[in-house]
Amino acid sequence: MQKRERFINFRPVLLSALFLIFGILFSYSQYCGENAWWLLLVLAPPFFISFFAKKKLRATIYALVFCCCFFIGAGSFTLKMENYRDCGSYYGVYTVTGRVVETAKTDSGHKVLLSEVTIDGNTESGKLSAYLLSPYSDSLRLSDRVELKVFVRTDTALEGEYGFRAEEIADDIRFYASDAENLRVTENSFDLLLFLRERMTETAYACMDGQTAAVTVAMLLGDTSGVEEGLLQNIRYGGIAHIFAVSGLHIGAVFLFCTLLFKNNRLPRWIRFFLVAALVLLYGGVCGYSASVVRAIVTCLTLYACKLIGLKYDSLESLSLAALITFAAYPTLLFGVGAQLSFAACAGIALLKRGLERVLLSAWTGADKFVLQKIFKRPPPLSVDMFSQNQPPLSLYTLAKRSVCSFLGVTLSAQVLTAPVLYLSFGYFSPISVLLNMVFVPLVSAVFCILLALVLIACLLPTAAGAVLLYVPNVVWAALLIAFEAVDFSALITMGTALPIGGLIAYFCAAAFCTDKFNVTRKEKAGYALLFAAALIVCMIAANV
């Protein structure tokens, strides 16, 4: 009798990331009063399996590694919480000094983020967020050391108006200030990354119109503070706000440009890797090394390293490695919507893209055969396996069909796993987002590096010359903004439907059996997927009727 393949392939990095996440969730439950002690039970299966495994030593080592990942996750979250709350308590007017690391323009002034903070001479860990009126903030520059007398309050609460304060804790913001009485710059220091960020922002606003400059800065640097709130909300309803959150789309474009730049040369492999990594890390640093940026950089550099040394690349394991690094360093980001959307989109692409490509190509090929045989009465074309390496030269039509199916597979697979995250976080889902992403994702991918290069060149030119260089992007953005202001996407969103936890689990299980990660027949996969889809429908009906 033929030996059946294992149900699912063993992926140690993926399981390590999952155990790290379980550890973070366990520690989080202790701080939020839920005390989910049952999460400790996830440590039992690896040791239970190792007891019956044929290679007991290897299985036991893996079980110990997974156990260590669990406690690393729990420990990192605990240390972050304890460190975050270990600071002075302030409520009143104090003299504050700090270094400006971020500014965002508001209607009446600036929102300023200070690091290296001292309050009345006491050196404090963490950052201070201050709202300053224009008379006190217009002359501020990034990296300036400032002194101001301001009303300060300490806020290290773990829960806020919208739940767990994941983003504030990850950014280490512990103090908030307002009502500044005076402000003076005590030192003009230099930071290359902050200087590049500020210079690019100033150049965009000097050489382009107000909103087109704000959109350019948002797309290149992830800073949406200058985008008009109504326009930004409409873009969110359209489901394409991710083009303003520097992530895999942007890092991937920079990475691809860098690899092409150093492709046709005789430099040693390790030097090429170093140069590509340096440029990608430089851009990531200018954007602030957010969770999505770190994830994208780790994924891209892992891919490049595997390619250079001839190793087989596994997108799911690479994504898992990125999750390990990101959540071990910034455990609270697990609860941030931005990180959730970033990893959900990449997981969807890694898991579902290939299967969706096959389905789309099969449907397209079936339509071709129907048109040719039933309408034009021609013989059917030769079948082509889009994943086979031994094929005759393909026609332009077949190449175009494969490219379209591949692109649609990427777009749809990302939407499948991000849709429930969006719905749970914001209470709505945008069906129009699928169509808009089909337009804007390739558009951004095609023009991103060109726009970035134009802005960097304009930084070196006089304002008049920079305005000429950026004239075309300015006109294109203006035309697109008119279109977004003319259409109200809020009328097209779906909201008000309850999504129970059982339905969410059934949804993800159904999606999982649509992948090629399970070693079962297509009929078995279809059966499992339909079973969980039926469970999803039952849960949705029970929750909403």
Task: For 461-492, write each residue's pLDDT tens digit.
Answer: 998 999 999 998 888 888 888 877 788 888 77
Cβ–Cβ under 8 Å, residues 196 and 165: no
Mean pLDDT, to the nearest integer, of 314-338?
A: 83
Q: Tell whether the model's pLDDT for residue 72 goes beyond 90.
A: yes
Q: 138 falls in which pLDDT band (50, 70, 90)?
A: low
Mean pLDDT, to the nearest integer, of 415-422?
A: 83
Cβ–Cβ under 8 Å, residues 133 and 109: yes
Q: How far is CA 513 from CA 7, 508, 517, in A?
A: 12, 9, 8
- Cα–Cα distance, 85 to 83 (Å, whole number): 5
**pLDDT at residue number 291:** 66
- Cα–Cα distance, 376 to 371 (Å, whole number): 6
- Cα–Cα distance, 413 to 416 (Å, whole number): 5
Paired with 182 in beta bridges are 149
Query: For the whole model, what pTM was predicted?
Result: 0.80
List, in sequence order, the alpha helices (H) in 287-336: 291-309, 315-329
Q: Which among 297, 289, 358, 386 is positioned nearest to 516, based on CA atoms?
A: 358
Task: For 176-229, write each residue's pLDDT tens digit.
Answer: 998 777 788 888 777 888 888 889 998 999 998 888 998 899 888 888 878 888
Q: 23 falls in which pLDDT band (50, 70, 90)?
A: very high
Q: Are strands 144-154 and 91-105 parallel, antiparallel or unpaired?
A: antiparallel
Lowest-pLDDT range, 221-230, 240-249, 447-456, 504-513?
240-249
Contacts of 134 (CB under 8 A, 6+ apart): 108, 109, 110
**pLDDT at residue number 468:** 92
User: How many other CB atoms are there within 10 angstroms of residue 120's CB atom?
Assistant: 13
φ and ψ at residue 25, rounded to 5 degrees? -65, -40
**pLDDT at residue number 1:** 41
Task: For 263-313, write each residue's pLDDT tens digit.
Answer: 777 778 888 889 999 999 999 888 877 767 877 888 788 878 877 777 666
Q: Tell whether the model's pLDDT for residue 387 goes beyond 60.
A: no
More confident residue, 449 or 483: 449
Cβ–Cβ under 8 Å, residues 351 and 410: no
Question: DSSP characters for 473-528?
Answer: HHHHHHHHHHHHHHS-GGGG-EE-----HHHHHHHHHHHHTTSS-B-S-HHHHHHH
**pLDDT at residue number 380:** 56
Q: Please tell me which of 23-32, 221-230, 414-423 the model is most confident about, judged by mean pLDDT.
A: 23-32
Paired with 109 in beta bridges are 133
Q: 372 falls in which pLDDT band (50, 70, 90)?
A: low
Q: Tell whether the model's pLDDT for residue 326 goes beyond 90.
A: no
Lowest-pLDDT range, 87-91, 102-106, 444-448?
102-106
